[in-house]
Amino acid sequence: MTAALRLAAMTLAVSGGLAGCMSLSRSEPVAALSPEVARGAYVDQMSVLSAAKGLSPEFEAVFRARVGEKLRGCATGTRPLRLEARIDRLDKADPVATAVIGGANVLRGSARLVDVQTGEVVGDYRIGSTVIGGRLAVFRMAEAEEQMSDRFGEELCKQAFGESGGKD
């Protein structure tokens, strides 16, 4: 557990938050979309490549559906882009440990946005998110693939299109 993750977990515990979840972002642009592309684009196609271990056979379909839903809420232009999503790491919290002491779902990956017509990479982002939760959040934390797919979409919306993608 990294020092930042330990500090976040302690903060959550001290504030009485072991009943809920807290999200930490580690996303950043490598090469950001220009403001005009961000305003005028939508994601028309998506490819998903995963190097993460332990994912369910349904992960790609879940990821496409959840990320696509978020992007439809934030990328609403007319210029078609292709998302090339790469998942390098997706760690799932252990349900028993989460119920007792808390746990974390962790996602690390990248998102490249490519102009469908020209093939030019118009945006490149590192996507990272950690969701810490415990006790009463054990059921939300157990849906790690769904939760972290939502977080990927939300992070990409925020980084590339300046919107949350429908985050509550």
Q: Name the most confidently modeled range: 1-10, 102-111, 117-126, 154-163.
A: 117-126
pLDDT at 70: 97
**Average pLDDT score over the chain:** 83
pLDDT at position 143 is 77
* pLDDT surpasses 50 at 2: yes
Higher-scoring residue by pLDDT: 134, 106: 106
User: CATH classification of 3-161 is 1.25.40, yes or no?
Assistant: no
Read off the pTM: 0.80
Helix axes 59-74, 144-156, angle to 10 degrees: 30
pLDDT in tens, 21-37: 777 788 999 999 999 99
Please give the distance of CA 101 from its chain centroid, rounded to a whole number: 24
59 alpha carbon, distance to own chain's centre:
13
pLDDT for residue 95 is more than 90: no
* pLDDT band at residue 74 under the 50/70/90 scheme: very high
From CA 5, how far away is CA 45, in angstroms rounded?
A: 34
Query: Is residue 105 very low, low, confident or very high in pLDDT (cuts 50, 70, 90)?
Result: confident
- Name the residue ranges covered by the structural domains of the chain: 3-161
